[in-house]
Amino acid sequence: MSQSLLRLKKIWSSLKPYLRWVIVGATLFFLAKVLKDHLAEVATITINLAGWIKLALALAVTLAAHTWAGWVWSTILREFNQPVNRSWAIKVYLKTNLAKYLPGNVWHYYGRISAVTEAGVALNAATLSVLLEPLLMMTAALIITLSGSFPTFGRGWQVLSLAVVCLGIHPRFLNSLMQLLSRFKGKATNTGVFQIKHYLLLPLLGELGFLGLRGTGFLLALLALTQVNLSQIPQLLSTFSLAWLLGLVVPGAPGGIGVFEATITVLLDKQFSPGLLLSVVALFRVVSIVAEVIAALVASLLLTPDS
């Protein structure tokens, strides 16, 4: 049995590098086909002055979202009794954010761990903070997905996933994980200073705020091209959260590129035309990247060792 598992592990290790390219290729092929079939419709879409104003608002909201995410990360570090300068931590977060588009999709985490450990934060606390942040984001995305009027297909899996993630951020599990990290690094097993004594409710609420801001940016990009009824907003936010979540967890998609766009196009094709959706997701992607570039540049200019 052990030899069979070892053989399967070797097969998986050999296939894993190609899996990301299969996923990226499949999503890009899907988007290219939809664009080809609806290119004429996309070409007719124009943006008026009111639309450009809404896109500018979407950019401002997205900038606020990424800044808010940096604040949440600094809060996680403080929950670990790490007295980091909050404004400095936000700047580190924003400066490293663009690295998520590099192959591997882990370099932004590496940059944050390196920066805070150089500033005196314990390695296990720094490592756990960057591992915990996406888990809290996943939890927030699942909560918003379940709270919206999302179709019942897949809801059972969503509830199960939410339960597993909520258990994963329970203090008992996190404290055990920190002890394991300390032992793995060959350090003392006494990690009392890092013990989490309560559920990380404040960071979780912060991630809900982050997803709310990101969803608002998407709605503004949609409103730049078409009208939306108030009754549609809960489902739109729910769908956005699910698409954003899939872009986060699906391997081989740096920054969720391709996966997010394909998911939105599939889930909203009954409400909006494919050509419109392609235009919206393209605009939203541009707005998101521009916001991240601006935030990284400003953070790099303002970031100093004692800031």
The string of pLDDT tens digits covering residues 157-209 is 667 777 777 777 777 777 776 676 556 555 544 444 456 777 788 899 999 99
Contacts of 146 (CB under 8 A, 6+ apart): 155, 158, 159, 162, 238
The model's pTM is 0.80
- What pLDDT, on the 0 to 100 scale, is given for residue 26? 57
CB 237 within 8 A of CB 146: no
User: CA-to-CA distance for 140 and 233, rounded, in angstroms?
Assistant: 17
CB 200 within 8 A of CB 72: no
Q: Report the mean per-residue pLDDT for the chain.
A: 79
CB atoms within 10 A of CB 239: 25
- Quote the tokens at residue 211: 């997803």
Mean pLDDT of 197-225: 92
Confidence band, pLDDT 50/70/90 cuts, at residue 304: low
Domain chopping of the chain, boundaries: 21-302
- What pLDDT, on the 0 to 100 scale, is given for residue 190? 44
- Kindly report, residue by residue over 262-278, the tens digit of the pLDDT: 889 889 988 898 888 88
- Kindly report, residue by residue over 71-101, the tens digit of the pLDDT: 999 999 988 888 789 999 999 999 999 888 8
- What pLDDT, on the 0 to 100 scale, is given for residue 81? 82
- What pLDDT, on the 0 to 100 scale, is given for residue 184? 56
CB 125 within 8 A of CB 80: yes
199 or 59: whose pLDDT is higher?
A: 59
- Is residue 31 pLDDT above 70, yes or no? no
Mean pLDDT of 251-260: 69
Confidence band, pLDDT 50/70/90 cuts, at residue 68: very high
- What pLDDT, on the 0 to 100 scale, is given for residue 192? 46
- Kindly report, residue by residue over 138-158, the tens digit of the pLDDT: 889 988 888 775 554 456 666
DSSP H or E stretch at residue 56: helix 49-79
Residue 156 burial (CB < 10 Å; 0-12/13-18/19+)?
A: exposed
Mean pLDDT of 19-34: 55
- What pLDDT, on the 0 to 100 scale, is given for residue 233? 92
